[in-house]
Structure 1
Amino acid sequence: MYAGRCVTYFRFHFDDMEHKLLADFIKGVHSDLRRELSVGERSLDEIWGKHCENETVLKQYADCMYKLATEHWTSQPQTRIEWCRDAVREYYNDGGLQRCLDKDRKRMQWRKIGGENSAEEEKEKTNIDETAVKDETSETSFQCRRLGSFAQGKLYLLDVGSCYNPFSEFEEFISIGIDLCPANEKVHRCDFTNIQIDRELSMGNFVHITSTPDHQLVSFPHGAFDVVVFSLLLEYLPAPKQRWLCCTNAFELLKTNGLFIIISPDSHKQHRNAAMIKSWKTCIEAMGFCRWKYEKLEHIHCMVFRKVKSDVEIGDEDGHYSNMMFIHQDFLREDSGKERTFTEKDEENFLENLHELPSCIDDDTEELIDS
């Protein structure tokens, strides 16, 4: 019995040590990219291009991530993959999408009560596209019923930064995984910050293309996916501009009313990074999304956005929106190697500025609609 306890003890501590070594390598790659960018000797394009060509680092990164995901993170009560799947089921299978469409129609009716001028003001505030809200006989409603039954149809899911394409194990998805350096043959090589979105490319042809494991994906079909997943992706990117660009690409690839899922690591308590999460929400909703679901689990933030605009001209004059896609590591000071403290005063100033930006819908309006 004593020997058995010793084996268990050493196995536990070995696993814990291995987990730390793997995680430290991942964090180190992220940190090196941000540090090189902060020095300012080379441009973001040069730094990122060199990183994408470094096969040695990319391969080691992929191996570490694969081992963490398949051997260490599976012990969690609910893994990030399971959370994503449950959210998609709730939306498409358990009436979530239909409830959203019903609420959108209520918003339209509520806006019309205030007259023409008020309607225009509320239309901008709520960020809802009237062409995306259709009646029971519409294509959108038909799509809701058809895709909502997994026995009758499958959902097209794009997993960006996929590593090993875990969603391919679920029969309800046609899952396409992409990554800078795939961990297995189920994932296709792609730099999502540098893609072409083709309005002429059909989903059928795209799925056929991805059947070739060694093919590097560059062109993607516009508005073809039901779900786009960013799981632990945005923190990898060293600059807010890249995070913003990836989110706009996700918008272009999604169908109207499709789901955009973001999983972001955070072991602190929920309020610790509240300003960052609020900033992301405001920026992403300005693109034409509306947040549908949010949950803070022990080590991750889980966010789901619904595409509520069918087609939007997305601009980022002077980096106004892209700078909102910050992470706290962006405030790392190169001179001391220590993170600049994000103070309560910083957060107060930041939240005050948010009131001047467009959001999906304010709390007072939401309360009126629900009542």
Structure 2
Amino acid sequence: MSKTVTVEVGLGDRAYDILIGSGLIARAGETISARLPGTRVAIVTDENVAASHLEALKSGLESGGVAVAATIALPAGEKTKGFAFLQEVVDAVLGARLERRDAVVALGGGVIGDLAGFAAGIVRRGMDFVQIPTSLLAQVDSSVGGKTGINSARGKNLIGVFHQPKLVLADSGVLDTLPIREFRAGYAELAKYGLIDRPDFFAWLEKNWREVFEGGDARIEAIAEACRAKADVVARDEFETGDRALLNLGHTFGHALEAATAYDGARLVHGEGVAIGMVLAHRFSARLNLASPDDAVRVEAHLKAVGLPTRIADIPGEMPGADKLLDYITQDKKVSRGALTFILTRGIGQSFIAKDVPSSEVLAFLRDSLG
């Protein structure tokens, strides 16, 4: 049996554990009841995940003494992160007569985690919440740190609250059923932690990425290291007023590319946007003479080796011009007198927050990148 690793998110009296290992869904009931005795739960999931894992979770909960009061299975995909499905979840939780100390359990990827967490944060002014992420991206990123929310027609993740879970169960075994494209997309977020401030981790991934894809202890250790990295940042800056913005490496460009494809997952999924965005951030840093062009080459080579897109031209279909992409970027991030905030880098593992990037420089770079 594979090992189970525990990573603590240190937030004082709101601290919680991330458990990483295989078979955690089957033991979910005993794990949750030990931390939240007497709790009843509503499970929020999507139809794809439900087909593979819902019955196993219900069995694991009930055998551990946790009553399932409601199950809400929503359509899969980014378009579910909107007001209509938020209302459906809230109504179902209230209809099941769950109380404030009962829990909403999110079983799914980032879309379900964000939506269910937001619902838990607003029902009865805040219910308990457990994350059971079923995608690699969600296990290493969106399930940790308490950022929840939905999308607006005006942009991604613009409506939401900070609401920390009570527990995260990252069952590495469920990733075996993940389509390879989704696993690769999550891997982009794994690599991100090395590029932010853990150069040794990035080098380890360059050597060991095949074993991470295959599963076993290498996968568990990679997920755990990513969770340690995120937990450290969240403990320092829970509400993203400072260092936590570093976690947006690649996301400013990536979110703009997602918006440009109208969040069409057939063309581009979030982790792919982040992969292209991280390459763009390193190339832009080199253009500004902040970092060596060799670093951008190294980042692109690794992401390409694992099968990720690394250039805007890799996105199928027509893309808008540089001016429209810049419009999406200015919607995503705060603009102050024509200057933008970006996460840039001085090299592998040396990312920093740049608050005074001229939009004219970004526009020129985008024009070259689209050429």
Give TM-score, length-normalised by structure 2. 0.32
In our comparison, the structure showing a higher alpha carbon Rg is 1
Give TM-score, length-normalised by structure 1. 0.32
